[in-house]
Amino acid sequence: MTELEFSYETLENPWDFSHSENEYRQYLMEHHMSDNTINSYLYGLRQFFGFYKQLSLTSLNLYKVYLMEHYRPQTVNLRIRAMNSYLQFLGISDYKMKTVRIQQKTYLDRIISQADYEYLKRRLWEDGEYTFYFIVRFTTATGIRVSELVTFQAEDVKKGYKNIYSKGNKMRRVYIPVSLQKPALIWLKEENRISGPLFLNRFGEGISATGIRGQLKMYACRYGLDPMVVYPHSFRHRFAKNFIEKGGDIALLSNLLGHDSLETTRIYLRRSSTEQAAIFNEVVDW
């Protein structure tokens, strides 16, 4: 396929992505993409067509250069996957943008320490911040993603588990440990709630993932903790690290976290750079 054919014969209107945006959105939905992925892919496509008036090999290569100069590798690859998905949608199967290689770290950082986690829990409880006390506990005791956490209902606490459905209609069961279930039921009883969203904002509506992230940063500053380690995914990491350190099976952990690959879960076998330095200094005494 020549660049001229690629540019003009593939698209009916290469100057206007909105011409096919709705059809592309439907295509992604039919392929069981999550809402977050769909929105991310559409954002990338709008960005591309905001820069370039036509889809061509040249414009794709220029876009990749732009991405590499302005974004982290993970974001670059996300945008590239969006473009490749759009090319597939258009029926272009003989060209695919190559992703950039991401250097794997030999350590795992930006995870809240167990001591800071315990301190944060205690301060939230003492200050009567019960909603965020349980948000922090639920995330750290189940390893759930924040996008999944906000879907929890009060009824799930009584059941002791929640079934989570991901792309491809895959289901995994997230268990609520008894040590968390009992105090959570008492909290709900005191608030006279038996149904509806488990975590509410100040307006009495289900809290959003964005709201959780913002409030956690505020609590970090209030309690003198590093805001860089007080974020929803940090507590998910803490769950995984604790599970492994207490002898939990990595295959079971992979299933609990909803990972597609065991290799993704193996990152939790690594130590943080601080832990590595401590071990190094303890061992090397010559």
Domain positions in the chain are: 3-89, 114-272
CATH number of 3-89: 1.10.150.130
Q: Report the Cα–Cα distance between both ends of the chain, in Å, rounded.
A: 64
With beta carbons less than 8 A apart as the criterion, state whether 162 and 156 touch: yes
- 6: DSSP letter: I
Whether pLDDT at 227 is above 60: yes
Whether pLDDT at 111 is above 90: no
User: pTM to 2 decimals?
Assistant: 0.61
pLDDT tens figures, 123-143:
999 999 999 999 999 999 998
Q: Do domains 3-89 and 114-272 have the same CATH topology?
A: no
Instruction: Please state, in angstroms and rounded to a whole number, the distance separating the CA atoms of residues 258 and 120.
Output: 26
Q: Sign of the C-alpha dihedral, residues 239, 240, 242, 246?
A: positive
CATH number of 114-272: 1.10.443.10
Q: Which residue has the higher pLDDT, 28 or 274?
A: 28
Residue 7: what pLDDT? 45
The SS3 of residue 275 is helix
Residue 91: what pLDDT? 87
Residue 240: what pLDDT? 87
Mean residue pLDDT of the chain comes to: 84
Which of 93-107, 126-140, 181-195, 221-235 is predicted with the least confidence, judged by mean pLDDT? 93-107
Instruction: Please state, in angstroms and rounded to a whole number, the distance separating the CA atoms of residues 133 and 183.
Output: 11
Going from the C-alpha of 94 to that of each of 5, 6, 8, 90, 230, the distances in angstroms are 13, 11, 16, 11, 44
- When pLDDT is averaged across residues 15-25 and rounded to a whole number, the result is 72
Residue 168: what pLDDT? 59
Which of 33-47, 216-230, 246-260 is predicted with the least confidence, judged by mean pLDDT? 246-260
Q: Which residue has the higher pLDDT, 9 or 171?
A: 171
